[in-house]
Homo-oligomer: A and B are copies of this chain.
Amino acid sequence: MTHNTHPEETEQRILDSARRLFAEKGYEKTSIQDILNDLGLSKGGLYHHFKSKEAILDQLNADEWAVTARLLDELIKRDDMSALEKLRALIISAVDVPNHLDLVRSQLALLKDPTFFTANMRFWSTELPKSFRSLIDMGVQDGSIPTTYPEEAAQLLSLLGNYWLMPCFYPADHADMERRIRCLATMLDAIGVPVFDETLILRLGEGLADLMSEEAPASA
């Protein structure tokens, strides 16, 4: 298993081990040596894939994002949906795609670590809004998202969707969560981004409820 015959497999094992150790011990307190011990891997075997602990952290964040980025690419190309419908599909996917929900769960435990949390907040404030922005700009063009606040809406969808809606940061029962989503819907409607219709509100509420009920075992 220590031979580098399947480099992608080794890389995935390093990432899985690091994700688990970062969540258990915290990012700062996990050393490269801890990961090597966990996997029975040589120093060279790891550095072949990642030049530093920070590079592993970056890759974990990038993986979480990759699922959404692929979907965004597919959505942008489609010509049978309005931009507003595409934006809805992107948001639904965050709680609807089974593999993605597993990733979200593993990230939630990691987010207790300050370094990981800070890196995520930075990603959510800089890179992620660009993806929402591309769909919102398309919606301004096709008339489905009549907003004069495209950049602000993109930032808020990213910040409020990834952080404020999450019960691990803002504790909520099912009723709190539905009210929170309805509040967000009302505010986004007011700035010309009517993305949360009744269907989306209910599905997002159910998806986030799943995340709540299964959060405890995932972070144990």
Q: At the interface, yes or no: A56 with Cβ under 8 Å from chain B? A: no
Q: B152 contacts A180, CB within 8 Å?
A: yes
User: Judging by beta carbons under 8 Å apart, are A125 and B191 in contact?
Assistant: no
Interface pairs (22), CB distance under 8 Å: A28-B28, A114-B114, A117-B117, A117-B118, A117-B121, A125-B169, A125-B170, A151-B176, A152-B179, A152-B183, A153-B183, A155-B164, A155-B170, A156-B183, A159-B164, A183-B191, A186-B190, A186-B191, A187-B188, A187-B190, A187-B191, A190-B190
A28 to B28, CA, bound (A): 9
* A65 at interface by CB-CB < 8 Å: no
- Assembly of this chain: how many copies? 2
A residues near B, CB below 8 A? 28, 114-115, 117-118, 121, 125, 149, 151-153, 155-156, 159, 163-164, 169-170, 176, 179-180, 183, 186-191
In the complex, what distance in Å separates the CA atom of A170 from the CA atom of B152? 10
> Residue A114 contacts which of B115, B169, B176 (CB distance < 8 angstroms)?
B115
Please name all residues of chain B whose beta carbon is closer than 8 Å to the beta carbon of A163 when the two chains form the complex: 159
- Assembly CA distance A209 to B173 (angstroms): 39
**Chain B contacts for A125, CB-based, 8 A:** 169-170
Minimum CB–CB distance for A85 against chain B, Å = 23
Q: A34 CB to closest chain B CB, in angstroms?
A: 17
Contacts of A186 in B (CB 8 A): 149, 190-191
**Closest chain B residue to A112, Cβ basis:** B118
How far is A156 from B183 in the complex, measured between Cα atoms in Å? 10
Query: Which B residues lie within 8 Å of A179 (CB)?
Result: 149, 152
Q: Which residues of B contact A153 (CB under 8 A)?
A: 183
Counting chain B CB atoms within 10 Å of each CB, which of A155, A189, A190 scores highest?
A190
